[in-house]
Amino acid sequence: MKFKELAELFQQLEKTSSNLKMIDLICDFLKKTTPEEAKLTAYLLQGKIAPDYKGLELGLAEKLVIKAIALAFQQDVGKVEKLFKELGDLGDVAKSLAKEKPSSLEIQDVFNDLKKIALTQGKGSQEKKLEILAIILKKSSPLEAKYIVRSVLGTLRLGASDMTFLYALSKVLFGSKEGKKKLEEVFNILSDLGEVAYLALKKGKKALEKVEPILGVPIRMMLAQRVKDIKEIKENIENEIFVEVKYDGERIQAHLDGNEIILFSRRHENITNQFPDIIEDLKKNIKVKNAILEGEVVAVDKDGKLLPFQVLMQRRRKYDIHEYVKKIPVKYFLFDLLYLNGENLLYKPLKERKQKLESIIKKTEKIEIAKYSVCSPTNEDEIEREFLNALKEGGEGVMIKDSNSVYESGVRAWRWLKFKKDYKEELVDTFDVVVIGGIYGTGKRSKTYGSLLVALYDPEKNKYFSFTKVGAGFTDEELENLPKKLKKYEIKEKSKLVESQIEPDVWFEPKVVMEIKGADLTISPVHTVLREKIKKGGIALRFPRFVRWRDDKSPEQATTVQEVFQIYKKNL
Instruction: Answer yes or no whether residue 370 interacts with ligand ATP by CB under 6 A.
Output: yes
Q: What DSSP designation does 267 have?
A: T
SS3 515: strand
Measured CA distances, 456 to 200, 459, 513, 540, 561 (Å): 32, 10, 10, 10, 6
CB of 255 to ligand ATP, least distance (A): 17
Measured CA distances, 363 to 63, 137, 253, 300, 359 (Å): 52, 57, 18, 16, 11
Q: What DSSP designation does 529 have?
A: B
Amino acid at 267: R
Query: Near ligand ATP by CB under 6 A, which window of 151-159, 192-200, 238-246, 379-387?
Result: 238-246
Instruction: Answer yes or no whether residue 494 interacts with ligand ATP by CB under 6 A.
Output: no
Instruction: Answer yes or no whether residue 418 interacts with ligand ATP by CB under 6 A.
Output: yes
Instruction: Answer yes or no whether residue 354 interacts with ligand ATP by CB under 6 A.
Output: no
Q: Which is nearer to ligand ATP, 106 or 368 (CB)?
A: 368
Instruction: Answer yes or no whether residue 187 interacts with ligand ATP by CB under 6 A.
Output: no
CB of 356 to ligand ATP, least distance (A): 16
What residue is closest to ligand ATP based on CB? 251
Query: Near ligand ATP by CB under 6 A, which window of 140-148, 184-192, 243-251, 268-276?
Result: 243-251
Q: What's the rounded Cα separation, in Å, for the pair 56 and 520?
A: 42
Question: Which position among 129, 139, 182, 246 bears the catalytic label?
Answer: 246
Instruction: Answer yes or no whether residue 399 interacts with ligand ATP by CB under 6 A.
Output: yes
Closest CA to 473 of 544, 404, 533, 408: 544
Instruction: Answer yes or no whether residue 247 interacts with ligand ATP by CB under 6 A.
Output: yes
Q: Which is nearer to ligand ATP, 198 or 464 (CB)?
A: 464
Strand partners, 246: 397
Q: Which residues contact 458 (CB under 8 A, 6 or more apart)?
A: 464, 465, 560, 561, 562
Q: What DSSP designation does 487 have?
A: G
Closest CA to 8 of 154, 147, 169: 147
Restricting to residues 508-567, name those near ligand ATP by CB under 6 A.
none
Instruction: Answer yes or no whether residue 165 interacts with ligand ATP by CB under 6 A.
Output: no
Q: What's the rounded Cα separation, in Å, for the pair 514 and 421?
A: 19
Amino acid at 367: I
Annotated catalytic residue 228: no
Instruction: Answer yes or no whether residue 251 interacts with ligand ATP by CB under 6 A.
Output: yes
Instruction: Answer yes or no whether residue 224 interacts with ligand ATP by CB under 6 A.
Output: yes
Restricting to residues 327-346, name those near ligand ATP by CB under 6 A.
335
CB of 246 to ligand ATP, least distance (A): 4
Instruction: Answer yes or no whether residue 316 interacts with ligand ATP by CB under 6 A.
Output: no
| Cβ–Cβ < 8 Å for 312, 249 | yes
Catalytic residues, by residue number, are: 246
Binding footprint of ligand ATP on the chain (CB under 6 A): 223-224, 244-247, 251, 296, 335, 370, 399, 418
